[in-house]
Amino acid sequence: MNAAPAYGMDQGDGSKAAQLQAQFNRKFQHYLDKSVPHLKERWGAFAVVVMIYILRFSFLHGYYIVTYGLGIYNLNLIIGFLSPQVDPATDGPTLPTTGAEEFKPFVRRLPEFKFWYRSIRSFVIAFFMTFVPIFDVPVFWPILLMYWFMLFFMTMKQQIKHMIKHRYVPFSFGKKQYGKGAGKGGAGASADAASAGLKDNK
């Protein structure tokens, strides 16, 4: 006879927890959207998080597998950040090759805001993983470090060759901008696109 009330109570607690989670997600997304235009502040916070993780890692002298996985993940993020959304090698050139062609801005495969969000999230997750002893696997860390540097240099060498071959630069510093408010409009448009993309794919 007490099964039905107990089931109803559990169902009510579950719905309340779902509402609280949805409310938290909305507030979190709201603050993320507000942080999009604050480029310096966001990367300043990223630098602080990285320093905290480095201090934690240096004091522990362990969790090398966690740090190695963190390095591999962020290397993949860097490659996505430096790569064009449409690969010229497979889909044809996306940038003008002559002066008569229309100017097309560089569109990243991984937008700046997504790059920042995923990277800072990975450091936060790795930081909390250092409190779980099961992730402290004993390994010979110099081999992991050497292997990561090999991957870094080989990957960046390949990326630079790709940039030279298809004649694109993944940075807009110093590039000419045409029209009044082109810089502001471009930055705002890219920020809105990054924010909208984050909502679809966190």
Measure the CA dihedral 163/167/168/172, to 10°.
120
What would the mean pLDDT of 178-193 be, rounded to a whole number? 44
CA distance linking residue 109 with residue 82, whole number of Å: 8
Q: Which residues fall within 8 angstroms of residue 185, CB to CB, at 6 or more apart?
A: none
- Return the structure tokens found at 174: 């110093």
CA distance linking residue 188 with residue 38, whole number of Å: 11
* CB burial of residue 63 (10 Å; 0-12, 13-18, 19+): buried
Would you state the pLDDT for residue 200? 52
Distances (CA, A) of 126 to 28, 74, 76, 77, 114: 20, 12, 16, 16, 18
> Higher-confidence residue: 140 or 91?
140
CB of 88 closer than 8 Å to CB of 168: yes
pLDDT surpasses 80 at 178:
no
pLDDT surpasses 90 at 93:
no
What would the mean pLDDT of 151-167 be, rounded to a whole number? 87
Parse the chain into domains and list their residue ranges.
Answer: 26-200
Nearest Cα to Cα of residue 86 among 148, 166, 12, 20? 166
pLDDT surpasses 90 at 52:
yes
CA distance linking residue 103 with residue 175, whole number of Å: 12
CA distance linking residue 169 with residue 31, whole number of Å: 31
Nearest Cα to Cα of residue 108 among 172, 179, 161? 172
- The structure's pTM equals 0.72
Would you state the pLDDT for residue 104? 61
Helix 39-60 with 112-129: angle, nearest 10 deg: 20
CA distance linking residue 143 with residue 90, whole number of Å: 36
